[in-house]
Amino acid sequence: MLVRAQPGRAPEAYEDYRVGLDWSQARVLDGVLTETGRPFKFPMVPGDSWTVDFSQAEQHEGQTNTHWNVTYEVVGWTVVTTPAGTFRALEIKEAGSIEAERAAPQVRATTLLATTKRKIKSSGKNDVRHQSIHNMVYGEFYYVPSIKYYVKSFEEQYNADNVRTGWDEDALVAFRPGVLATPHR
């Protein structure tokens, strides 16, 4: 399914992305289509939980050997208010970890050699080091069955020092019930 979203940071632009019919996300990793996110697993009832666990060897956003392990849990029914109105929603919590490696800045070790002709030669060697990254992921989604989508969500990432390194929040700002259109022939 193709979804068009209007990010708050660029109100004149839209972003298109593909999701499964259950709103899952997938990417091709190491040549295999791999589920990389699944905030909903239908049918959902309070107490349900599921885990998305995958690894990515190739570089992505400067990281290599990335391992995601995220568990989603349906907490229960709640009332949530957004600019589009007040809704009875299923609350889904997300918690997990991201482990990865990132190449640290390269250090160039230089050795100067004096030769008998009083020339100086320089030999260099790159010393590539890897920095381990450990982030925690937390989030909440508020899914409304009558809309068949979430009306509010937020996700946060924290590093090993418990400093928030990323944050994203979505809220439904308008909603108009409609009828599915039949394709023109």
Peptide bond into 43 cis (omega under 30): yes
DSSP 8-state secondary structure symbol assigned to residue 127: E
Each residue's pLDDT tens digit, 123-159: 445 555 677 888 999 999 999 998 888 999 999 999 9
Mean pLDDT over 36-43 rounds to: 86
DSSP 8-state secondary structure symbol assigned to residue 27: E
Each residue's pLDDT tens digit, 153-174: 999 999 989 999 889 999 999 8
pLDDT at residue 177 in the model: 74
Mean pLDDT over 12-38 rounds to: 74
Q: pTM here?
A: 0.71
Q: Which is it for strands 130-144 and 149-158: parallel, antiparallel or unpaired? A: antiparallel
Rounded to the nearest 5 degrees, what angle is found at the Cα of 95, between the Cα atoms of 89 and 101? 145
Distance CA 80, CA 87 (A): 5
